[in-house]
Every structure is written in structure tokens, then in C-alpha cells.
Amino acid sequence: MPAIVHFAKDGGVRYAATDGVEMYIIDETSPHDRVYRVSTTITADELELLIGSDDVGHAGDARHAAISARVREYIGGAARLSTVEPDK
């Protein structure tokens, strides 16, 4: 019984879960509306259409380290590569 967070190409974000799944969003930056229960549902057919023929990655797969580095670079603004100064 999956739940999804879908980041669309246009910047939109969609949260949904299949029937029988309760999904909550907890937003520490919104103290007066901190916990929100997602009520949008998605069917198995819709989920299959969204995934298509793409591989489903996970934290232990071969690409995880490279993708994590790119995310850290984007968030922190630090380049993955840096200039090496010659020994003086």
C-alpha cells in the first residue's frame, strides 16, 4: 500500500496514498497548522502510469551516493569538486 510525493516538472507537488493508507505531513515551520492528514488518493493504475518504465531507486542502490552528493551540493551551494592549490 504505497503513498507518494510527486514532484512535477512544473514545480508542483502532489501528495497521495492508496486506499487504506493514512499519510501525514508534519511541517515544523507552520506551528499553528503543523500536522496535516493527506486525503488525496491514488489508484494502483495511476501509480503504475506515474512510474512508467523507470527503475525505482532506494537508499542502498548504486546511484545513491552520487545523487546524495548532488542534493547536498544544491542545498548547501558547495561544489562537489574544488580547486586544489599546489604545494608551496
pLDDT of residue 29: 94
List the one residue out of 50, 52, 55, 44 whose CA is nearest residue 21: 44
Is the pTM higher than 0.85? The answer reads no
pLDDT of residue 60: 82
Instruction: Please state the rounded mean pLDDT for residues 15-19.
Output: 89
52 φ/ψ sector (left φ>0, alpha ψ -120 to 50, else beta): left
pLDDT tens track for 18-54: 888 999 999 999 989 999 999 999 998 998 999 899 8
